[in-house]
Structure 1
Amino acid sequence: MKQRIYITRKISNEIVEWLKQFVDVKMWMEEETPVPRAILQKEIREVDGLYCLLTEQVDRELINQANNLKVISNMAVGYNNIDIEYAAKKGIAVTNTPGVLTETTADLTFSLLMATARRLGEAEQFLREGKWTTWSPMLLTGQDIYGTTLGIIGLGRIGEAVARRAKGFGMKIIYYNRNRKPNVERELNLTYYPFEELLKTADYICILTPFTDETKNLIDEREFKLMKPNTILINTSRGGIVNEEALYKALSKNQIWGAGLDVFDEEPISADHPLLSLKNVVVTPHIGSASIQTRMRMAKLAAENLISVLQKKQCSFIVN
């Protein structure tokens, strides 16, 4: 008898048919709506594999519902939605999908940087509302990018990819990472700065570090006070790394110049959230990896990870 898996969101038929060669597949058939918790609690009881997204909280309570679970395959790089330590204690492998979304997320990161610097959101709204009546010397003026200093916090794959893009804009690139990377420093002409010095120096700060207990609220009231008034903060990592209340205060008091955000503490963010009322904020709904090609590669890799673990083959993307 084939092993059984449950998929928590509708994915492409091509990948489902590939999976059916190896396992019995049951799938939540809504593409835009997460599977209700009660249904997931029921479905996880007898399956051997769970194929999930960041929208599913695979916590201790849910894991305890499972009788046969051997693998949780997360279609994402991050896995803070899963209690990986408890899964390991239960003998359940947790896998993720790194690498395949590096360049796409770096594209979005740099897009947000440019859009925030040049006030593209404000400019488009200004035009669509019929407010453009004449050319004016200082109308919707923003910040230069060329020749400025970019500070990268978290020099993983995506951080390196963002640095490569910044080189093309003639930016000076500084970085802070838990461990220095001399080879990357030489390759990309990067300069390592201590955390506080980076905050004081950079014109643009990109948050690209994983979300952990150590990085929760890494950027808080104290950190904003160290930044320059022209600083633009970009976060395409995880919302909890930046204290949103402190960010709102820093932006509304012009302590920093602007922010570009793809991730939030609670997702989806409420339409009446204070941050969304600010003109100096550019926001996107967690679309860092949202190109057709990349999402398909992520979905396929998540499927391959799941099957590799179930077939007891080597899997390079087990995180616990």
Structure 2
Amino acid sequence: MGKPRVLVTSSDTPQAGIDLLLTKCEVTVIQKVISNNDDVRQAVPGHDAIFLSGHTNINTAFLDIAGPNLKVVSTMSAGYDHLDVPEIKRRGIKVGHTPEVLSAAVAEIAVMLTLNASRRAHEGRLLLEQGATERRPQWLLGRDLRGSTVGIVGLGKIGLQIANRLKCFEVGRFVYTGHSRKKSGDEIGAVFLSLDDLLEQSDFVIVATPLTNETRGLFNDAVFAKMKQTAVFVNIGRGAVVKTDALVRALRNKTIFAAGLDVTDPEPLPPDHELLKLPNAVVIPHLGSATVKTRNDMAIVAAQNILNGLEGKPLVYEL
């Protein structure tokens, strides 16, 4: 019996993950840096496992094309809104992802965006380029983390790491919201609140929640209106948690002070999008896990998920 066959969906996949697969599998790599759904569908029949380097949609139609050989799906990401997990599992296929190994890197990006947005870094750069800087005591004043209330929407692994990193900035109080009070929240002295209370009390609102039916479009006009006018909004979760038009209005009308975004809806934003024209919006192109070490770690975990699944063992991180 030959080695199991694994399809890797991008030639841009870190070599560490491919090398691990090669120890026990026959590996096919789609020779495109960015492959689309059609590329993957065309290549997948006959493979025993699929390593998703990007966000290929794995749904009923895809699984029908993949055929009966497919035993494991592993995505090199923490998020899995591109996977129809119930349908994949219904067919007896194991499905894994790569949380936790990227938590530190994403938390660093959240801190970066929080500081950049609160201290008006983007606006300052624009004024510098225009030769419009001023030397006076109350020019371009930002907002302090010191003594502030930081609200985290979704105190999971990433939310917790964000709070731990922000502690050294002498934050006055951490609050969070979610389905229920968490022991991990108690351990860092964070207070569990309803979403409305968090919005009303927080100087910084940091979104670290996954995209679900419950969170999709959660941040709309009504929600932004409940925030302080001095509040800084940061999103490192998923773009579609936010109604983009509502955020544009909130920033333009000074309903809130500023925003820092690693994720957007749509993603990527068109170059002429209104959000990119706002001086009080710091927007970066989904760089949360984009470090050399983190991407290598993600590739290794995604590959190990596949090896474990093919050998009948529990996946490292199974959905």
TM-score by length of 2: 0.95
- Counterpart of 1:75, as a letter, is M
Does the 8 Å contact 2:153/2:205 carry over to 1? Answer: yes
Q: What one-letter code is carried by the residue in structure 2 that aligns with 1:160?
A: L
Q: Deviations over 1:33-78 (max 9, x none)?
A: x213322111111111111134312222212111111111000111
- Within the candidate set 10, 26, 29, 1:27 is matched to 29
Where 2:272 maps in the other structure, the secondary structure is: coil
Q: Do the aligned partners of 1:54 and 1:81 also contact (CA within 8 Å) in 2?
A: no
Equivalent residue for 2:38?
38
Distance 2:199 2:16 in 1: 46
Alpha-carbon distance in structure 2 between the residues aligned to 1:12 and 1:178: 36
Distance 1:230 1:54, change over 3 A: farther
- Alignment of 1:245 with 2:245, yes or no, is yes
Residue 13 of structure 1 aligns with an amino acid whose one-letter code is: Q
Q: Structure 1 unaligned runs (5+)?
A: none
Q: How many Å separate the matches in 1 of 2:52 and 2:102? A: 17
Partner Cα separation in structure 2 for residue 206 and residue 227 of structure 1: 12
Deviation at 1:186, TM superposition (A): 3.4
Report the counterpart of residue 206 of structure 2 in structure 1: 206
Aligned length: 315
CA–CA separation in structure 2 for the residues paired with 1:269 and 1:88: 33
Segment of structure 1 superposing worse, 38-47 or 203-212: 38-47
Distance 2:201 2:249 in 1: 21
The DSSP-based 3-state class of the residue aligned with 1:63 is helix
In 2, distance between residues paired with 1:304 and 1:54? 17
Mapping of residues 230-241 of structure 1, within 5 Å: 230-241=230-241
Q: Percent identity?
A: 32
Question: In the aligned structure 1, how far is the partner of 2:256 from the partner of 2:292?
Answer: 34
Q: CA RMSD in A?
A: 1.4
Q: Using the alignment, how far apart are the partners of 2:138 and 2:262 within structure 1?
A: 28
Mapped partners of 2:253, 2:218: distance in 1: 20
Deviation at 1:129, TM superposition (A): 4.3
Mapped partners of 2:166, 2:16: distance in 1: 37
Unaligned runs of 5+ in 2: none
Tell me, in whole angstroms, the C-alpha distance in 2 between the residues paired with 1:93 and 1:269.
Answer: 34
- What is the CA distance between 1:140 and its match in structure 2? 2.1
Aligned residues of 2:20 and 2:300 also touching (Cα < 8 A): no
Q: In 2, distance between residues paired with 1:162 and 1:170? A: 14
1:57 is aligned with what amino acid? N
Alignment partners' CA distance in 2, 1:184 and 1:40: 40
Residue 65 of structure 1: SS of its match in structure 2? helix
Contact 2:155–2:185, Cα closer than 8 Å, also in 1: no
Residue equivalent to 1:121:
122
Tell me which moved more, 191-200 or 122-131. 122-131
Q: Decide whether the 8 Å contact of 1:54 with 1:79 is kept in 2.
A: no
**Distance in 2 between residues matched to 1:188 and 1:115, nearest whole Å:** 25
Give the aligned partner of residue 108 of structure 1.
Answer: 109
Are the equivalent residues in 2 in contact too, given 1:166–1:173 (CA < 8 A)? no
